Chain A
Amino acid sequence: MSAIAVSTAVSSGRGELVSVRRRSLLMAKWRVLWVVAAFTVIAIAALLRIMFLGLFEDAPTRQQFGTTLLPERGDIVDRHGVPLARAFPAYALWYNPAALGGDGPPLVRSPREVAEELVGIFPDLEVESLTARLKEGRPGYLRRRILPEDANRIHALGEPALEFPRETERFYPQGSMAAHILGFVGADGRGHIGMEQVFDQRLTDPAQRGTPAALSIDTRVQGALEDELLRGIADTDAKGAAGIVLDVDTGEVMALASLPSFNPNLIDRAGEGFIFNRVTNQVYELGSTFKPITVAAAIDAGTVTDLSRRYQSNRPLAIGGFQIRDSHALGASLNVPEALIHSSNIVTAQIADELGSDRLNATMRALGMDQRAQIELPARGFPIWPKGDWSRITTMTVSYGHGIAVTPLHLASAYAALVNGGIWRPATLMKVEPGHAAQGRRVFKASTSARMRQLLRLIVDLGTGRSANAAGYRVGGKTGSAEKPGEGGYRRTSLVATFASAFPMDHPRYVIIIMLDEPQGTAASSGQRTAAFNAAPIVGRLVPRIGPLLGVMPDDTRDVDISDLAPLVGRGDGE
């Protein structure tokens, strides 16, 4: 374009030259304008870039920081933040025959030598099968999880084909402890049984899995409970045991154990047999532990107004071809405190008869005995509940815990209502913040509850629960030894021994239920099978261990006042 302009300037005269000059000037100005504009744009861009660098650059890195530390599956912790289940980058032992490359053998040494070395590290492996496996030359896991020190020892073997990749796995630092509460994560990556199943959605949700899910249980209490239950099983040769520690005011489960247990780190065929939860899934006829509930219902309804009133106790009650009798003669007559202390079926049945089937039925329903136990765990047993209108004999047998089968958890919730002032609340495994406890429903009057505290304390002080009387902890409770139903009636030698208790009785904080399944008479239990000799001593040993951890200090100078009831009781041995 400028070439054309010059050629016209040369060929034209002066006037044209002026116009050319003007045009060139204009063009130059335009060019300057363009350059200035370009500079301005660049300067603004540079400024913007500087601002951008200064202001926004570290935002994406922070996000990356968060995602890397985010576990693949959220942790589960106890009420104090102790990890119970965590996503853990564990080592696995992987055999990779292609690691050396080339066409040569996959291992530096002979497969047999390597197999022997490996068996030296993992004694449970077998040389022959391992040699065959290494010879075969197929890649695969030799072991799903190995310890860091084992990984070091394998590294020292100097075999490139033995790799130990880090894989995020579910790990339970406490081993088999609280296994029934936690459950496990299967090979499919989903939670099974326990809270792993309940929390599955939450633990895998990227938005939520960063914060651990807090359970209500206390690791130390759980450890002590399992320890004492194990000792109880060892002492009595029982088939199994179950135990629960429940906060009476919030319904929080502090510890829940079903033994024998399994190891969620290693689910094998042996472990699968123990997955069944005796606390929430198995229903039992819990026997005499129901008697305080019957008595409370009678006091509440006003059919028992005078605790010193005496009931006959030496003649078995014959109702519709069925006889209600006591385990041994307890004298001609007993009053209510004596009936509880000596655990008399005959007297309790009379109290229930006066109370009437409707009112006992209503109380049992209010305590949730006619439906599955209320807790988050997926496996919950349905009670064996007498259907329809209760006959006279049904009412009488239910009153002392027969003909109705519930889980130990049902009993724990009922006892919590019995002692906490009369409010029934569902049990929960989730940590409850102070002031956020479930509202619950009133089952007993506060005055009835106060009376029951005295009576339960009396049983431990003077009656069948004496071996549970941990000094200074003001334990109250009731024993129950029920024969298990079998073919053709009850089996006299297969018992379920239960001790339902609460402490401290002057201001109950926790309910403890201990249950032994088919305990045998051993030297440790003085040759007896009943709860007074096997389940009650477990509570006696457990309470001093867990009391201070739960904020209940022993104090010899305090107790619930039982001075108005004590004169009603003739001193004598019970059960």
Chain B
Amino acid sequence: MNLTRDRLRSIGWAAVLLTCFTFTVILTFKVNAVKSQVRLTERKILAIKQDKLLLETEFETRANQQQLRSLNAVEFGYNPPAAGQYLEGERQLAALGKPRGADAPDPIRVASADGPKEAAEITPMANPLTGKAMAAEPAKTKAKPTTPDNLGDRLSRSEPRKGKPE
């Protein structure tokens, strides 16, 4: 079998055609694979969205106004807050700070510059009752864990304290 140039060329063309065709088929397959993947994912998204809708509706139903009302009536007994519980802004909040005297004049607000920087020196943490630095305070004895045996001790100890202010 002799391979003439023409024949070689046609074989070459055929090979190119075959390769092109193969690539096209492979590409089509790949595209279809991705497409079906997308479709599957979409279906999953749809199912989840529908589930979400279902759960949302169930939640809305279980938490509807009538349910909340009866829950509040049985369980919580919340009442609407009164006028005194609302503040309109920071100004009203600040006004709560100090009760004014009966004949007190309107408070005068003055502009003030920032005080000298205090951040340079950090004072050690102090006990607000004794005024001593925390390091100087005697170490607390560790409380014993309560067991059924020493429970009686604890109760008898706390009993006489009741009336006394600390």
Contact = CB atoms under 8 A, between A and B. Distances in A.
A42 B20 contact: yes
B65 A220 contact: yes
Q: Looking at chain B, what size class is its interface with the partner chain? A: 35 or more
A418 to B, nearest CB: 25
A42 B81 CA distance: 79
B82 A177 contact: no
Q: Is the interface of A mostly helix, strand, loop or mixed?
A: helix
A69 B46 CA distance: 7
Contacts of B24: 46, 49
A83 B13 contact: no
Given A61-B42, A173-B57, A544 B50 contact: no
A89 B69 contact: no
A198 to B, nearest CB: 23
B42 A177 contact: no
A174 B20 contact: no
Given A42-B20, A174-B64, A544 B82 contact: yes
Given A61-B39, A83-B60, A176-B66, A548 B80 contact: yes
B6 interface: yes
Contacts of B16: 39
B86 interface: yes
Interface stretch (A50-58, A307-315, A392-400): A50-58
A223 interface: yes
Contacts of A553: 86, 88
A175 B62 CA distance: 10
Contact of B57 (A53, A83, A227): A83
Contacts of B132: none
Contacts of B69: 223, 227
Given A35-B13, A173-B64, A555 B86 contact: yes
B27 A554 contact: no
Nearest to A88: B57
Nearest to A174: B64
B126 interface: no
A335 interface: no
Given A35-B13, A57-B31, A88-B57, A175 B66 contact: yes
Interface string B104-127: 000000000000000000000000
Given A46-B20, A148-B58, A58 B13 contact: no
A82 interface: yes
B100 interface: no
Interface residues of A, number: 44
B60 A173 contact: yes
A555 B88 contact: yes
Interface string A25-69: 000100000010001001100100110010001100100110011
A220 B69 CA distance: 11
Contact of A68 (B17, B46, B61, B80): B46
B68 interface: yes
Nearest to B69: A227
Nearest to A31: B10
B54 interface: yes
Nearest to A49: B24
Interface in A139-179: 148, 171, 173-177
Contact of B46 (A65, A88, A471): A65
Contacts of B49: 69
Interface in B38-55: 38-39, 42, 45-46, 49-50, 53-54
20 contacts: A42-B20, A43-B20, A49-B28, A53-B28, A58-B38, A65-B45, A69-B46, A88-B53, A89-B53, A173-B61, A174-B65, A174-B66, A175-B64, A177-B66, A220-B65, A223-B69, A544-B81, A553-B86, A555-B83, A555-B86
Interface of B: 6, 10, 13, 16-17, 20-21, 24, 27-28, 31, 35, 38-39, 42, 45-46, 49-50, 53-54, 56-58, 60-61, 64-66, 68-69, 80-84, 86, 88
Given A35-B13, A171-B57, 7 more contacts: A46-B24, A57-B35, A69-B49, A89-B54, A219-B65, A223-B65, A548-B80
Smallest CB-CB A-B distances: 7 pairs = A472-B83, A223-B65, A554-B83, A173-B60, A544-B80, A173-B61, A174-B64
